[in-house]
Every structure is written in structure tokens, then in C-alpha cells.
Amino acid sequence: MYSACDLRLMSNTGSPADLGLSQFCINGQAGFIRNGVAAFRAFLKTEFSEENLEFWLACEEFKKTRSTAKLVSKAHRIFEEFVDVQAPREVNIDFQTREATRKNMQEPSLTCFDQAQGKVHSLMEKDSYPRFLRSKMYLDLLSQSQRRLS
């Protein structure tokens, strides 16, 4: 069966947002597929849950923020887009996590989304990512990539 080595589909450069070569893992054997994050995003769109990956990627990008002024504005944008109740792309997190994140918005920091991001990561890791690894979309992409490497 499939084993998710890394939900982030890490690229060979180490950046999860990079849509170049992406790592996959089957039965503990790592390999590479082209456009892994893009493929996972496309799969999530078919399940109407792409906001989970978009939130996760936004949090990863947010953690790279060095300017305090930008940090505050980015934090509020992410919160309003993904975390707040009735947000346009609201992620599925529990009330306690949402409220803890809301409290973190009083003094945003690079870790203010860690709890919510962890919940979303866990949800994808246990639910949508295993389905993606069994999907025709992924298996076709994997097959194409393996043919290129042979």
C-alpha cells in the first residue's frame, strides 16, 4: 500500500511551494514526480477541499516573513481568508483551534497559525492525501514520471 513520506511533496530544492520535481513515497521508496503539488491541488479541487492545501502553503510562506509590518498584515489576510468563521475559503478546524488562532491574532507571530496548520496537515495526511495516492490522477502522473526516469 501507499505510504506518505511527506505530505508537503517536497521539491528537490526543499520548497513545498515549488511546483518543479516533487518527492513521492511508495512502500518507503522515494522517487520524484513532476508538478506534485499542482497535481495534489488539482485533486483537492475535485473534492472541493483545495483550501486546505492553499492554507497550508500560505502558512509556510508566512513563516518566511521577516518584516514585522508585513507579518501583521499577512497574518490578518490569512486569518480572514481561511480561519475566520464564514471565511471565503474556510478550513475545517475545530472551535478551540479557531479560537486559539483568533487570540494569536492579537499579537501575530511567525507561529500564530501553527496549531491550525497542524490540524489541517493532519486532516490532509489522514484523509485526502491517501485518497490522492490511490487516485487515477496520481497513478497516471507516477507512471509518466517513472517512464521518464527509465
> Do 138 and 132 form a contact (C-beta atoms < 8 A)?
yes
Domain count, the chain: 1
Dihedral (Cα; 105, 127, 2, 18), 10-degree rounding: -40
Give 83-114 pLDDT, tens digit per residue.
999 999 999 999 999 999 999 999 999 999 99
CATH number at residue 120: 1.10.167.10
Predicted confidence (pLDDT) per residue in 55-82, tens digit: 999 999 999 999 988 999 999 999 999 9
Tally of CB atoms within 10 A around 106: 7
Cβ-based neighbour number of residue 82 at 10 Å: 25
**pTM for the full predicted model:** 0.76
Q: Is residue 6 part of a domain?
A: no
DSSP H helices, the chain, are 36-46, 50-62, 68-78, 95-104, 114-123, 129-134, 136-149
Residue at 4 is within a domain: no
Question: Is 3 domain-assigned?
Answer: no
Per the domain annotation, does 16 fall within a domain?
Answer: no
Q: Which domain holds residue 106?
A: 21-148
In a domain, 56, yes or no: yes
